[in-house]
């Protein structure tokens, strides 16, 4: 596990951008993408770059159940605005939050993951240590499935919605095993509200109580954080 402490999100986005650019140069074809505030600066760097993604595939971590692609709170909408409209990929996969048959949708997504092994996976981290929407207690062998969001996650994500009651209670999320199969993982964390989770991720026991701690078992993980997110780590 490699750790990099940066001044701020812009610097972190630049570092992540450079790693991704290098991997693409080396032949990476599939990017695993994340939503949330954490990767915003990274996506800005991608948008402003001269990188061309039209020969690449992207696979996103998760989507809320019950939100249409055109809903401004959906992760599909987020990805379109932050990246795909400026930098289209050959194909971009996200779970369909409005699928009538969620079991079939989960199976479809797992087939997509099997067909497109992820070269570089981008991750943020929840304050409770979740990755994707793999909440505390998630099985390390889990694959894509419908998950119930933890009350703390619903509260944390309420800032994006007009009313806390509008926050979906479920999502379709790639599983921990799916994330761990990525060849390289870049996790970014910014702000003191992530410091506890970051400390546990790096120095805590590997436990499903803090899902991100599983990354200690991955051979190629880079953690990019600002000083606030690193404040609980020993020098
Ligand atoms: C969300 C997403 C995660 C994200 C995390 C942190 O609920 N499902 O993929 O990493 O929570 O979000 P943020 O980057 O906004 O702090």
pLDDT in tens, 146-171: 999 999 999 999 999 999 899 999 99
CB 190 less than 6 A from any atom of ligand 1: no
> What's the whole-number mean pLDDT along residues 38-62?
98
- Res 234: pLDDT: 82
State the closest ligand 1 atom to the C-alpha of 153, by its place in the atom list counted from 1.
7
Looking at every residue in the chain, the average pLDDT score rounds to 97
The token pair that represents 152 in the structure block? 């703390």
> What's the whole-number mean pLDDT along residues 3-28?
98
Q: Are 176 and 207 within 8 A, CB to CB?
A: no
Give 92 Cα–ligand 1 centroid separation in angstroms: 19
Distance CA 217, CA 159 (A): 33
Is 130 among the residues known to form the active site?
yes
- Res 189: pLDDT: 98
Is 193 among the residues known to form the active site?
no
- Res 7: pLDDT: 97
> What's the whole-number mean pLDDT along residues 118-124?
98
pLDDT band at residue 133 using 50, 70 and 90 as cut-offs: very high
> What's the whole-number mean pLDDT along residues 110-137?
98
CB 32 less than 6 A from any atom of ligand 1: no
Residue bearing the CA closest to ligand 1, atom 6: 126
Distance CA 111, CA 106 (A): 9
Task: Say which residues have a Cβ less than 8 Å from residue 66's Cβ, sequence separation at least 6.
Answer: 97, 98, 168, 170
Give 99 Cα–ligand 1 centroid separation in angstroms: 22
Distance CA 28, CA 158 (A): 35
The token pair that represents 40 in the structure block? 């915003």
Q: Alpha helix locations (H) across 91-169? A: 102-115, 151-157
Is 128 among the residues known to form the active site?
yes
Model's pTM, two decimal places? Answer: 0.97
pLDDT surpassing 90 at residue 206: yes
pLDDT surpassing 70 at residue 235: no
- Res 217: pLDDT: 98
- Res 166: pLDDT: 92
pLDDT band at residue 56 using 50, 70 and 90 as cut-offs: very high
Q: Is 46 exposed, middle or buried (0-12, 13-18, 19+ CB in 10 A)?
A: buried
Give 106 Cα–ligand 1 centroid separation in angstroms: 20
* Residue of 61, 64, 125 to mutate, ligand 1, most atoms within 8 A of C-beta: 125
Percent composition of the chain: helix, strand, coil (DSSP 3-state, to 5): 35, 20, 45
CB 63 less than 6 A from any atom of ligand 1: no
Distance CA 105, CA 172 (A): 9
User: pLDDT > 70: what percent of the chain?
Assistant: 100
> What's the whole-number mean pLDDT along residues 29-55?
98
Nearest CA among 4, 1, 16 for reference residue 122: 16
User: pLDDT > 90: what percent of the chain?
Assistant: 97
């Amino acid at each position: 596990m490699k750790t990099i402490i940066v001044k701020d999100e812009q610097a972190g986005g630049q570092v992540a951008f450079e790693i991704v650019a290098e991997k693409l140069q080396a032949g990476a074809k599939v990017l695993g993408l994340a939503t949330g505030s954490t990767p915003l600066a990274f996506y800005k760097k991608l948008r402003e770059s001269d990188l061309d993604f039209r020969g690449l595939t992207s696979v996103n971590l998760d989507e809320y159940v019950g939100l249409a692609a055109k809903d401004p709170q959906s992760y599909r909408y987020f990805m379109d605005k932050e990246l795909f409209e400026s930098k289209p990929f050959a194909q971009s996969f996200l779970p369909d939050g409005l699928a009538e048959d969620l079991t079939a949708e989960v199976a479809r997504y797992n087939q997509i993951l099997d067909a497109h092994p992820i070269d570089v996976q981008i991750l943020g981290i929840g304050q409770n240590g979740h990755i994707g929407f793999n909440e505390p207690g998630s099985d390390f062998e889990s694959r894509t499935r419908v998950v119930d969001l933890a009350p703390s996650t619903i509260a944390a994500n309420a800032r994006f919605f007009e009313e806390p009651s509008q926050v979906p209670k479920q999502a379709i999320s790639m599983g921990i095993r799916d994330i761990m199969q990525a060849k390289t993982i870049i996790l970014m964390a910014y702000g003191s509200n992530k410091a506890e989770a970051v400390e546990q991720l790096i120095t805590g026991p590997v436990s499903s109580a803090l899902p991100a701690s599983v990354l200690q078992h991955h051979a190629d993980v880079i953690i990019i954080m600002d000083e606030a997110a690193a404040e609980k780590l020993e020098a």
